[in-house]
Structure 1
Amino acid sequence: MTTYRQPGVVLTDRRFTVPLDHARPDGETIELYAREVVASDRVDAGLPWLVYLEGGPGCSVRRFVGREAWLGRAVREFRVLLLDQRGTGRSTPANRQTLPLRGGPAEQADYLAHFRADSIVRDCEAVRADVTGGAPWTVLGQSFGGFCTTHYLSTAPEGLSMALVTGGLPSLDARADDVYRAAYPRIARKNAAHYARYPQDVERARQIAAHLAEHGPVTLPGGYRLTVEAFQSLGILLGSGDGSHRLHYLLENAFVRTPGGPEFSDAFQEDVQTSLSYAGRPLFALLHEAIYGQGQEPTNWAAERVRAEFPEFDAARSLKGEDPVLFTGESIHPWQFESDPALAPLRETTELLAARTDWTPLYDPARLARNEVPVAAAVYHDDMYVDTGHSLATARTIRGLRTWVTDEFEHDGVRAGGPRVLDRLLALARDEA
């Protein structure tokens, strides 16, 4: 283990070996990486542990500097483990470069079937035995990390002393189609709020979409193929606290005058490439619909199919009339595996995952109804990424769970809100608020 310092904290790199398939403990193994964080003035204190599960799926844990965001509040009383979930960051990464080591698309899809919440929770349990000596710990789950936390409560509550969820209470039984059917109206509301704040962006977005429709796709500097649909997917920004502002500043810089007429500026192209590429988190795209698979029904590109039920998101239709071009949100579509060079080699693998029919159920409502672990959850009002109605229905199922429903923050409240969100959740879970 390597130990080093940042302002106010001491960090230790830790590595663990776990089975790829926990049902076959003597089979193939993978490596997990985690960063232990403790306050510099409490290194020798006998502190309880808190493990943080990042959102996603497929996102490595945030690399904090010092006591940023919620971490400063956490290290006041916990020793924190920041875990790169399997396949992400430094935990045996899975991407277009490494997955061919598995074989062809079929072997790759079978491998990735072990990267959902059930495997992540079993990783946590294997790690906990090593880290805490078997003592239960607190889990803090953001977004998809909250999905994992809900699975944790369903399958291994004995490993938890407390569970805290931010923007991540999943539906216990919704199919992928149900998730996206609930999502598109929320995304439309986020569009309306953005255009109300920045009315000048209505014409800007129409001009950009019209340029792409007339002149065809543009290949960005990093190789990303920008189409009208890809441009619309910039709406994924609208679910974060500062996302509307970031989108506005991106749009205002779109065009420059050239001898050949208006063209997309280099700065705009670079910003779009950065915003849309999944090079840094390919599992987000590969597994995004798989996290909703819970039975014999394939997910089958649910976001793409359900989108057809909402014609207001058809840019061609909008451009023929006077309606605003609507941005889309947190959804994955087949065309992204043609547009994004980081995803294109994995298109067939993703098709196999979309057709898969052997997903196991992830949640146990009966066990959740008997829950004895102190649980608190921040539910963000009209969260673009996780349906508020679904979250509240699940909250009613989990015995003893206390909710904090707020419109003070968007989905990224635990990051944007500094220590306040974690402070509130701890107080709720401890019955101090």
Structure 2
Amino acid sequence: MRIGSYIHHSCTVHDHTFTVPLDHNAPDAYGHGTVDIYAREIIPPDGDNLPYLVFMQGGPGGEGPRPGDFRDGFIGRVLKDYRVVLLDQRGTGRSHRLDKLTLSSLGNQSVTDEGDHAPTAQEIADYLMLFRQDQIVRDAEVVRRELAGDEPWTTLGQSFGGFINTCYLSIAPEGLRAVFNTGGLPGLTDIDSIYRLTYERTAARNRAYYERYPDDEPMIRRIAAHVRDHEECLPTGERLSTERFRMIGICLGGQLRFDTLHYMLEAPFVTVNGVSRLSRHFLQQVADEVAQTTPMYAVLQETIYAATTPALAGTATRWSADRLSREIAGFDPDADPLDTSEPYYLTGEHMMRSIFDEDPELTGLGEAADILANRTDWPAVYDPEVLAENSVPVASAVYFDDMFVPRELSLETASAIRGSRVWVTNEYQHDGLRVSGGAVLDHLFALQRD
């Protein structure tokens, strides 16, 4: 249903909402529960007859882009050839955003038959199982049929958006005209194999960072030792731990923030009454990077890798990133940061169990996250047999040094998708779609046409 329209920098914008089943696989379950999905349709001047492209945002937990000017950046490039649909995936943005507050109200909705009550951790975990790739694809199909009728559309997926696209190719390929992925071909393997590679790539990015900014390694070690031994609190009131401090390594995965991390570390300490303390400015900068203001990013982070293919049925994630951190040199959370005989690295897209006891946006969700980490009844979201018979054109950018989506697994997946074409480049990092303007898309569009 269209709920509003306006002109934005010469583009026509339509706001849409669509009511979909909470569980597409059992639409009559959960008391006939539903979710409202929001999509923003952007039509360039004289573009009413252009084909549709839907953008699948990275994440999980990320809402669709909200740029100041749709004509800028990669969206502006897409608008030269398509009318664009920016989808708020379920659980994000205006599509029933999930956080502590909204999850606390589950007992007052028709999700259970128990009447009004605070939801249990089990109920929250059961609910969150319905926010993975497969349900997002089914939502997208509802949107497509409402907007485009019987016509298939094109998808562009960044990072996790490419995971959604791969699921789309597996369960609803009839809805697709073409697929483009940027840094988003998922591994069709177990989560530990994926995280071992992401740790390896994160270690390499740490080493590259220390080579560029050699004075920052001792500073990182000093800060880690300081927060271990002294109470320093983030602006939201909780004590900063070494594990949460090390999460600023998320900046290493992109071109835009690799160097801004250095600026953050230039002068983190101040002297107060002869005592070294972390400055309020620095603590705010750390909070800006590590606070889970989009909590589903943390809660669902490992679920997107859970038993994703039929061959992986019956397996659990078991806090993979946390477990492996204790086995891989440079990432042990209990390591002494002042022991220079061992490497000491910042972490990347690795969610530790401890942050659910520290971050105010996650406290209270730890038990549900534990249930998710130990579940073994996940439905598969990728079907290698269907992918092997694929007939939809697929073109993907694979970033050689990608810290979050390892190239080795992306290339294996590309080879498993019939007719898939790949552009491997070390010119960009994981944020290549955003930093390149339209250059990455120019390459992919040409690759698909060739």
Report the TM-score when normalising by structure 2. Answer: 0.92
Structure 2 residue aligned with 1:38: 43
How far off its partner does 1:324 sit? 5.0
CA–CA separation in structure 2 for the residues paired with 1:301 and 1:394: 24
Residue 38 of structure 2 aligns to a residue in which SS? strand
| Contact preservation (8 Å) 1:376, 1:428 | yes
Partner SS for 1:57 = coil
Once the two structures are superposed, the pairs formed by residues 22-421 of structure 1 within 5 Å of their partners are: 22-26=24-28, 27-39=32-44, 41-43=45-47, 45-66=48-69, 67-102=71-106, 103-172=119-188, 174-215=189-230, 217-279=231-293, 281-294=294-307, 295-314=313-332, 316-323=335-342, 325-421=344-440
Distance 1:318 1:57 in 2: 31
Deviation at 1:76, TM superposition (A): 1.1
Does structure 2 retain, via aligned residues, the 8 Å contact 1:85–1:91? yes
Aligned residue type for 1:162: A
Please report how far the alpha carbon of residue 318 of structure 1 lies from its aligned counterpart in structure 2 after TM superposition.
Answer: 4.0
Alignment size in residue pairs = 426
The code of the aligned residue for 1:190 comes to: R
CA distance in 2, matches of 1:301, 1:409: 30
> What is the CA-CA distance between 1:238 and the residue it aligns to?
0.5
Displacement of 1:24 in angstroms is 2.5
SS in 1 for 2:100: coil
- Kept in 2: contact 1:6–1:65 (CA 8 A): no
C-alpha separation in 2, matches of 1:24 and 1:318: 50
Q: Note the C-alpha offset of 1:243.
A: 2.1
- State the 1:114 CA deviation: 0.4
Shift of 1:69: 1.4
Work out the CA distance in 2 between the residues paired with 1:7 and 1:126.
29
Contact between 2:356 and 2:362, CA under 8 Å: does it hold in 1?
Answer: yes
- Give secondary structure in 2 for the equivalent of 1:345: coil
SS of residue paired to 1:113: helix
Aligned partner (choices 3, 6, 19) of residue 4 of structure 1: 6
Separation in structure 2 between the aligned mates of residue 286 and residue 22 of structure 1, nearest angstrom: 21
Question: Aligned-pair RMSD on alpha carbons?
Answer: 1.3
Q: Distance in 2 between matches of 1:85 and 1:290?
A: 16
Q: What secondary structure sits across from 1:18 in the alignment?
A: strand
- Once residues 332 and 385 of structure 2 are traced to their aligned partners in structure 1, the CA distance between those partners, rounded to angstroms, is 42
Counting aligned pairs with the same residue, the percent is 46
Q: Which residue type is aligned with residue 304 of structure 1? A: D
Q: CA deviation at 1:369?
A: 1.2
SS of the residue corresponding to residue 105 of structure 2 reads: helix
Q: Is the 8 A contact 1:224 1:273 kept in 2?
A: no
Q: Deviations over 1:234-281 (max 9, x none)?
A: 1111101122212111111311111151111111011111110112x1
SS of equivalent residue, structure 1 residue 320: coil
Instruction: Report the AA paired with residue 48 of structure 1.
Output: P
SS in 2 for 1:161: strand
Matches of 2:190 and 2:332, distance apart in 1: 24
Listed as ranges, the gaps of 5+ residues in structure 1 are none
CA distance in 2, matches of 1:324, 1:6: 50
Q: Check whether the contact 2:183–2:398 (CA below 8 A) recurs between aligned residues.
A: yes
